[in-house]
Amino acid sequence: MDSSNSSPISPPTVPGSPPFLELRGIHKRFAGVHALRGVSTSIEAGQIYHLMGENGCGKSTLIKIISGAQPADEGSILIAGTETLSLSPIGALSAGIETVYQDLSLLPNLSVAENISLTQQLVESNGRLAWRINREQLIATAVKALGAVNLPTDSKFWSLPIEELPIATRQLVAIARAIATEAKLVIMDEPTSALTKREIDNLIGVVDRLRAGGVAVLFVTHKLDESKSIGGRFIIMRDGQKVMEGDIRDHSKSELSYWMTGRQLDVARYRRAEHGHGDLLEVKNLGRSRAFGNVNFSLGHGEILGITGLLDSGRNELARALVGITPAESGTLTIDGQTVTLKRPIDAIDAGIGYVPEDRLSEGLFLEKPIRSNIIVEILDRIKNRWGAIDDKRSRTMAEDIARELQIVAANLESPVQSLSGGNQQRVLIGRGLMIKPKLFVLHGPTVGVDVGSKDTIFRIIQKLSADGMGVIIISDDLPELLQNCDRIMVMRKGTIAEVFDAENVDEDTLYRALVTDKSSRMPS
């Protein structure tokens, strides 16, 4: 595509000019917690940066200060050499700072064009929308921005409500919104957490065009392989401080992990046990119209099975069918020789199937409820006293035991679960699934949005569960995660199981080629 005709990206900054953004000695405190401790760094125009660190290290607080969502307590912010005491959200947008948050912050009931262009009109009117939106300008802005991210520019597409789009397309719409405001710095918070490798490659192409046009891009990310392949500079935070900065291609993953966590992490296979034994799970001819069909596989006690595929492969729908969320319409499923029918999630719980959903925020956690309540919610019927009330002492003891076992770091289990870091929230979900004492544990994207230290902890938990005889299914598009943890890996394409690999004897390139090979031509009817 000819970028000169399709992109409103600004030309590169003149050499020798001051950095676009400079932070000097930024401090932030919350109720006695020193979240940021004198953070100083600079962002140059036309450069790519990777902001890294464990959950809770201060990354989110830092980007909220840069984007104007929160003020700093101490320190100064310079935009193109000019100091400002603080930024408001509109002030940050007016300065050319656009943030694409992990939840994308799109309005689901509005159209693609409206989501892209309303921010620009807010900036132009200093935060106040006119009584009558300039529809002609809105559409023209949206069309230009959509072309810049290689999305369709016809009215059929830009008039669609955001809620009808897949997550990968929404991600590009959110970036198009940033382009529409002629951003000079685009901050992307975990932009690839829900994308497959093919979609990530497309996103990286868009980012390269932004960089070439003089726009700075700041990734907030946990994916070291991905960051090293993109290149650019890294900024690592730990305990609210910047601990290291440099060119990401000059340092190994183990070095980056050490600076993030303060300890050496295992980068080899976690899986060292023998394969499972006996038949725990038998799936025969499982199918659901327009999702998947003729799915056959088995799983032994203590075995770990990986399932992967592109977003349209049927992997997500199969995961939900295995736990009764969207039931299969045909086929059979047996556990320990007993045929089970999964029409509702409670059927899966009764059959001894635990589940960790893909999106912990929208599908898993009750964010405003206490950590303890989130852990015990699936066994409430099992811990009632003789008067039908929840046995408070027993529930507290059980929650404390699981928190200790899974190393959930929380000052008080009565605190809201939303107060925890992403890694600890994920461990709460794993703990909830374990409360039912499952025979089979289905983990759907078990480490999405989780830092490298928490990943290491979660992987070790998974291996221990397997060693104790539990069958585990991991549904993921994180290929290194599957290679490190599984016995076998099934690749799905177009709703069917296309290939099965021995995880110990296959490499990432072979797996990726299996994902994108188009040997299956039709989705099962």
**In this predicted model, which residue has the larger pLDDT, 297 or 86?**
297
Q: How many CB atoms lie within 10 A of CB 55?
A: 20
**In this predicted model, which residue has the larger pLDDT, 295 or 407?**
295
What is the per-residue pLDDT for 27? 93
- Quote the DSSP letter at residue 416: B
Strand positions, DSSP E, 340-380 = 353-356
Structure tokens of 505? 């004897």
What is the per-residue pLDDT for 5? 39
What is the per-residue pLDDT for 471? 95
* Alpha carbons 477 and 515: distance in angstroms, whole number: 10
CATH superfamily, region 277-352+438-451+463-520: P-loop containing nucleotide triphosphate hydrolases (3.40.50.300)
* Alpha carbons 218 and 38: distance in angstroms, whole number: 20
* pLDDT cut 70: percent of the chain above it: 90
User: Does residue 291 have a pLDDT over 80?
Assistant: yes
Q: Find out whether 2 and 176 touch, Cβ atoms under 8 Å.
A: no
* Alpha carbons 56 and 418: distance in angstroms, whole number: 12
- Tell me the average pLDDT across 72-97: 88
Domain boundaries, the chain: 3-11+19-261, 277-352+438-451+463-520, 364-437
pLDDT range class, residue 135, cuts 50, 70, 90: confident
Q: 3-state DSSP call for residue 500?
A: strand
Structure tokens of 184? 């000079």
- Give the largest CA-CA distance in the chain: 76
Structure tokens of 134? 């300039």
Q: Find out whether 175 and 149 touch, Cβ atoms under 8 Å.
A: yes
* Alpha carbons 508 and 480: distance in angstroms, whole number: 7
Sign of CA dihedral 477, 323, 320, 422: negative
- Tell me the average pLDDT across 422-428: 87
Comparing 119-123, 174-178, 223-227, 480-484, the range with the smallest average pLDDT is: 119-123
Q: What is the pLDDT of residues 35-81, one digit of tens each?
A: 899 999 999 999 999 999 876 788 888 999 999 989 999 999 999 99
* Alpha carbons 254 and 263: distance in angstroms, whole number: 10
What is the per-residue pLDDT for 275? 67
N- to C-terminal Cα distance for the chain? 36
| Token pair 């900065």 in the structure block, residue | 245
Q: How many CB atoms lie within 10 A of CB 189?
A: 22
To the question of domain 3-11+19-261 being in CATH 3.40.50.300, the answer is: yes
Q: What is the pLDDT of residues 243-256, one digit of tens each?
A: 999 999 999 888 88
For 124-172, the three-class secondary structure string (H helix, E strand, C coil) is HCCCCCCCCCCHHHHHHHHHHHHHHCCCCCCHHHHCCEHHHCCHHHHHH
* Alpha carbons 199 and 42: distance in angstroms, whole number: 30
Q: 3-state DSSP call for residue 208?
A: helix
* Alpha carbons 460 and 452: distance in angstroms, whole number: 12
What is the per-residue pLDDT for 374? 93
What is the per-residue pLDDT for 267? 62
User: Does residue 9 have a pLDDT over 50?
Assistant: no
Q: Find out whether 246 and 233 touch, Cβ atoms under 8 Å.
A: yes
- Tell me the average pLDDT across 419-423: 81
What is the per-residue pLDDT for 129? 55
pLDDT range class, residue 516, cuts 50, 70, 90: confident
Q: How many CB atoms lie within 10 A of CB 116?
A: 32
pLDDT range class, residue 25, cuts 50, 70, 90: very high
- Tell me the average pLDDT across 425-448: 92
Q: What is the pLDDT of residues 295-348, one digit of tens each?
A: 999 999 999 999 998 777 899 999 999 999 999 999 999 999 999 999 999 999
What is the per-residue pLDDT for 2? 38
**In this predicted model, which residue has the larger pLDDT, 15 or 507?**
507
